[in-house]
Amino acid sequence: MPEKTSLEPIAVPLSPETMAEMMQEISAIPQVAPDIPEDKKTEIKMEFLAILFGVMIFFFVMKGVNARYKPRCGHQTSYTIILGVLVSIVLWFIFEEKRTEMYSFKQDLFFDFILPPIILNSGFNMRRKKFFQNIGNVSILGLGVTFVCFALYSILSFTAVKYGGLTMVNYSLEDSGQGGPIPIEIEVLPLMLFTALLCSSDVVAAVSIVNYEAQPKLYSCIFGEGVFNDIVSIILFNTVQSLQGSPFYWYTIFIIAGQFLLLGLVSIAVGLIFGVGLCLIMKHVRFLTASPIIESFLIFAFAFMSYFASNLIKLPSGLEMSGIISLLTCGIISAHYTYYNISPQGRQAATLSFSFLGEFAEAVVYSYVGVALYSTIPTWWSWSFIFIQLAIIFGGRVIAVFSTFYCCRLCWKKRTISFNELVFITYAGMIRGVIAFALVLKIQWDGKDGQACPTCYSL
């Protein structure tokens, strides 16, 4: 999808023949309208924000409907995305491509201000008691299943791209005869980068229809798997990302495993340092507990400091630490220890403020996902690739969950999760959400061996 980004592009090389053909066709893509006057830009920004907040209002209205009436199908996130898509279609018929650039998403804004509150809310407001009571099941589902999914997705996706005859087309170029179809050819490491983000699941929708009071174990297993899944998928993505541009050898898997451990340990350690440091400060410097505003801000500030500090750490090999992992770790530590060193008013204020910020940021993301369709038209599409990947996600998830869980069940006789609960857990992991959206923003088609091309395309 054509995007302009301030982030450093990730090299995802295609074969020379395919790339040359794509560059020839990219030159035929209509350019965006000439420079827009500054006063008109301000007007369009206000228009965009008004539309975005309107869709966000719909998000919270549907959240209230779900909480009150508990419909059997649908979730506020899916309803919001559908509404956003409809808004995008209307915008396209009214303005065509004239305002696509002004409606594009700013990735640095997303990673600096929108994603962190969502992660902090997940870590700080988790149901800690049942989470740690079910840590065995959570580890199997969040660690083992994610690794198996990554292996299955990579193998099946490589087979589909290599032997499936997948192609992509650009419908806006059909009249000129340059709209394809073009065969899809992706090397092993770029494909593994894509499958790493496919491993990231979103359990918000599934958790929202589980009653914690009635089914605390199921709730904790689904939520806990989501937390562990986020950690593993992000580390996998960053690890494979650091190897882009290198050839794939038989020992590359061992390099990925080693860097996975290094990235995970360092990122978690950064979160632990800030989380434990905050806990000690709140325990021994008691005048900081005089106001719930001070207490809430310190938790918020330390969590964000861990996020940005971890993002600053980059090894000479190109491996970057994960601020998301550090922030999540700091949030969990703050909830488990710092929470009991602050005043009752501070606990209530922190819980409510972080919940509000997290829900607000989620509403922004899901509202924009649908509206973003307007800024990505026209573009290249591959319906065969989309349907193949959907089949791989569904089939791979089912195989991974049941094979991993029942293989681990051979080690003990105690029945922990029923078959029906496992089926629901399998379904919950098929949904993709905020983390997958964050990771896909980093994937771009690269023109020439690490050099950014004028128009980049995301898978």
The DSSP secondary-structure symbol of 172 reads G
Q: Which residue has the higher pLDDT, 210 or 47?
A: 47
Question: Which tokens is 204 given?
Answer: 């918000």
Residue 374 has pLDDT above 60, yes or no: yes
pLDDT at 312: 87
Q: In sequence order, what DSSP letters do the residues of 366-379 get, joined into one string? A: HHHHHHGGGGG-S-
**96-134 pLDDT tens trace:** 666 666 666 666 777 788 888 888 888 888 777 777 777
Contacts of 160 (CB under 8 A, 6+ apart): 166, 385, 388, 392
Instruction: Report helix, strand or coil for 205.
Output: helix
User: What pLDDT, on a 0 to 100 scale, did the predictor assign at position 99?
Assistant: 66
Distance between CA atoms of residues 325 and 198, nearest Å: 18
What is d(CA 366, CA 76) in angstroms, rounded to the nearest whole number? 9
Asked if residue 374 lies in contact with residue 97, where contact means CB atoms within 8 angstroms, the answer is no
Residues of the chain above pLDDT 70, percent: 78
Of 135 and 350, the structure prediction assigns the larger pLDDT to: 350
Query: What is the per-residue pLDDT for 108?
Result: 72
Residue ranges and CATH numbers for the domains of the chain are 16-440 (1.20.1530)
| In contact, 224 and 127? CB cutoff 8 Å | no
Average pLDDT over all residues of the chain = 77
Looking at residue 442, its amino acid is K
CA-CA-CA-CA dihedral for 256, 259, 264, 266, to nearest 10? -170
- The pLDDT confidence band at residue 311, using thresholds 50, 70 and 90, is confident
How confident is the model over 304-330, as a mean pLDDT? 84
Give the pLDDT confidence score for residue 369 in this predicted structure. Answer: 79
pLDDT 10s digits, 59-103: 999 888 887 877 777 678 888 888 888 888 888 788 766 666 666
User: Region 389-408: what's the mean pLDDT?
Assistant: 88
pLDDT at 277: 93
Ramachandran region of residue 180, left (φ > 0), alpha (ψ -120 to 50) or beta?
left
At 172 the pLDDT is 62
Is pLDDT above 70 for 26? no
What is the C-alpha to C-alpha distance for residues 119 and 131, in angstroms, rounded to an integer?
A: 17
**Helices within 285-382 (DSSP H only):** 292-312, 323-336, 344-371
| pLDDT mean over 201-223 | 75
**Which one-letter amino acid corresponds to residue 59?**
F
pLDDT-derived band at 25 (thresholds 50, 70, 90) equals very low
